[in-house]
Structure 1
Amino acid sequence: MSRERISFTELYDASRQNWPEASRDISMIAPLIYRLHEHLSKLAEQQFKQYELQSAEFETLCALRNSAPPFRVTPTELYRKLLVSSGGMTKILVRLEDKGLVERPENPDDARSRLVGLTSEGKSLIEVATAQLLKREAELVEQAPHSQQLEQLLIEWLRQLETPLAP
């Protein structure tokens, strides 16, 4: 028996037929975005497995790579960027350090703490993994009708959602 999910169209048609009050007079944008997110997450997870990385590890390496050279930040900066707890960040950093992808040099500004930095292996890995992921994502996006217009609309929508309202 196949464990693959039914298509969004099948799900939507079944809802309209069997539970019409749940889909009447509502926009399908949010459910469509949720389903697109599932597809993109599945693609990303497949890419991460190639490099024996978990999603949180990949995000951590990206956050470090997005930092100014020499790609070092405090653990506090990392967990604030990634919205994980400090305990969760510690676990991620231990795994990445065990894999040789990050190092923990002393913090010259605070003797009580250590920095987190990419090793040359970590930098190389995240650059290759990200390039491959972006290529695969681009292949999916190319299938979208009016992808440039869609991109601009989504950017504008997120800008509106993420801009604080004036008091």
Structure 2
Amino acid sequence: MSFSEIKELIINMFGEEIILKEDLTSPQHSITIPNERLLEVCQFLHVQPKLYFDFLACITGIDNGPTVGTVEVVYHLTSIPYEHSFVLKVEVPRNQDGEPLPKVYSLTPIWKTADWHERETYDLVGIEFVGHPDLRRILLPADWEGHPLRKDYQEQEIYHGIKVKY
């Protein structure tokens, strides 16, 4: 099934306003949807018989920087039996220093593979996944300060008495 056909099924189910942005410039076309609709759209993509996206292949977190003021989460979905793929995005406001982390709904109730992908995105980009069963750092120590893939990340100079920045 083509990108256009999948997009059309989504529009037929949720209405045209569900698509906030569409990117046809990249080799992997994508649509951006509202974060508040993420769970229901993904549930539809998972259970709709014509689509059956049974595999969440990858989640990527992107910090668009303080100037743009947003962070994105990119979901790469695959239907193994039907051999088609789809890229879905959500974009939320980026937090300022001292504010709570940006929040995106967890997809662990739909795809178990979301578990470690969301933990990695939380750890490195600083996006909180609401409803995640065990959201904690996965690559860095629990007491590490900051999120290294943020555009404005400042490395710690010393960690537990060890010089980490040269």
Tell me if both proteins adopt one fold, taking TM over 0.5 as the criterion.
no
TM-score, normalised by the number of residues in structure 2 = 0.21
Larger helix share, 1 or 2: 1
Larger Rg: 1
TM-score, normalised by the number of residues in structure 1 = 0.21
Larger strand share, 1 or 2: 2
